Amino acid sequence: MSDKNLTEVLDADAQGIARAVAILDSGGLVAVPTETVYGLAARADSAEAVAKIYAAKGRPDFNPLIVHVRDIEQAEELAEISDAARLLADQHWPGPLTLVLPCKPEAKLAGAVTAGLPTVALRAPAHPVMQALLEAVDFPLAAPSANRSGFISPTTARHVLASLDGRIDLVLDGGPTQAGVESTIVAVRGDGSLEELRPGPVVLAGTHRGEVRGFEAPGQLASHYAPGKPVRLNAGHADASEFLIGFGAVSGDCTLSVAGDLTEAASRLYDCLHRGAASEKQRIAIAPVPEEGIGIAINDRLRRAATPPD
C-alpha cells in the first residue's frame, strides 16, 4: 500500500491483529476481511463506536447493522434462539449466513445496531482473521461492508481505501475475499418459517421472499452497490461509451467468469464493478448472468447497482 494512505494499513498477521484489537477496544474502526467482503468493525456494545460506523459510511440511521459473534453461545447472549434458528446455525455457522432473530431486552448492544427494531442480525463468520479478532475481544463486533454507503462493496484492502481512506483507523489486509458477495440474510419467524431478506452464498430450501416490511436487515435499499455511472444489464455487447463486464461467451473489458462459473463470477463481481467505475468509459454494460444458485444473489446486486438513487 502507498505511504500516502491516511488510514493505517497492516498485514492481517499476528502483529496486525494485535493492533486491530487495541483499536477496537478503544472504540475505533477497523476494516477486516471476511469470507464475503471486507467489513467495517467496531465494538457493538458502544454507542460511540457504532456512531462512528454510521458517520464513516454516511449510512442512513434506519439501516441496521449485522453483528458478528464467535459462536452460538455468544449469539445466545444477544438473541432468542429458536429450534429452527439453532438448526440453521449448526448447519451453516461459521459461514456466510446471517440470521435475523428477536433481540433480548438485556442484550449489551448499542441501540443504533438494531436501528430501533425488536430484532438483531447475527452472523458467525468463517474467515480466520475475523475469527481471531472475535476470540481476542470480549464483545461482539458490528461490521457492515467497509465502503461508503450505497457504493460498491470492497473485496480487497485497496477497495476499502478507495472510499474510506482517512475516515477509519486501520485496514487489515488479508488479500482478496473468497465469496465476493455479502452473506445470505434469513429472518427466522416466530412460527419457525424462514424468510429470505437478502440472497447470498448460502441457498436455503424452504425459504420464501415475502413483501418488504420495512428495513429489517442490510442490503434492502433499492439503489445500492452503485458504481457512480449508468449501468445496463443483460448486454450482449458494448457501445463505444460502455465498459463491458462479460460472463461466459460474452467477453468484456473485465470478465466475471470465462467458463461461466457462477461461484467465480460472485468472487469477481465487485472487483469488476470497481474497475468499471474507475475506467474512462461513461457507462457500464453487464452480460446476462443465469438466475440460479448464487446467480440469484449476483443479479440482486446488479439490479440494485443499476437502479438510480432517489
> The C-alpha cell of 148 is what?
461508503
> The C-alpha cell of 258 is what?
470465462
Residue (of 38, 57, 56, 51) closest to 224 by Cα position:
57
Task: Give percent of the chain above pLDDT 70.
Answer: 95
> HSE-up of 278 (CA within 13 Å, CB side)?
13
Q: What angle do CA 67, 69, 73 make, to 5 degrees?
A: 130
DSSP 280: S
How confident is the prediction for the chain on average, in pLDDT?
94
**Model pLDDT, residue 226:** 83
**Model pLDDT, residue 75:** 98
The owner of cell 467458463 is 259
Query: In the structure, what pLDDT confidence band is assigned to residue 218 with cuts at 50, 70 and 90?
Result: confident
The owner of cell 447475527 is 122
pLDDT higher than 60, residue 2: no
19-31 average pLDDT score: 98
**Model pLDDT, residue 5:** 77
Query: In the structure, what pLDDT confidence band is assigned to residue 168 with cuts at 50, 70 and 90?
Result: very high
pLDDT higher than 70, residue 259: yes
> The C-alpha cell of 162 is what?
478507495
**Model pLDDT, residue 40:** 98
Report helix, strand and coil shares of the chain as percent, to nearest 5.
30, 20, 50
More confident residue, 149 or 134: 134
pLDDT higher than 70, residue 310: no
CA distance 70 to 68: 7
Query: In the structure, what pLDDT confidence band is assigned to residue 82 with cuts at 50, 70 and 90?
Result: very high
**Model pLDDT, residue 222:** 66
Write the pLDDT tens digit of every residue in 32-47.
Answer: 999 999 999 999 999 9
* In contact, 169 and 29? CB cutoff 8 Å: yes
CB count in 10 Å sphere of residue 156:
20
Angle between helices 14-25 and 128-136 (to 10 degrees): 50
DSSP 309: P
Query: In the structure, what pLDDT confidence band is assigned to residue 207 with cuts at 50, 70 and 90?
Result: confident
**Model pLDDT, residue 108:** 96
Q: Is 119 helix (H, G, I), strand (E, B) or coil?
A: strand
CB count in 10 Å sphere of residue 254:
19
> The C-alpha cell of 103 is what?
433481540
Write the pLDDT tens digit of every residue in 260-301.
Answer: 999 999 999 999 999 999 999 999 999 999 999 999 999 999
Bond before 94 cis per omega within 30 degrees? yes
**Model pLDDT, residue 17:** 98
How distant, in Å, are the alpha carbons of 135, 259, 306 from that of 226?
34, 26, 7
The owner of cell 449510512 is 59
Residue (of 76, 115, 116) closest to 99 by Cα position:
76
CA distance 240 to 282: 9
pLDDT higher than 80, residue 210: no
More confident residue, 56 or 215: 56
**Model pLDDT, residue 208:** 79
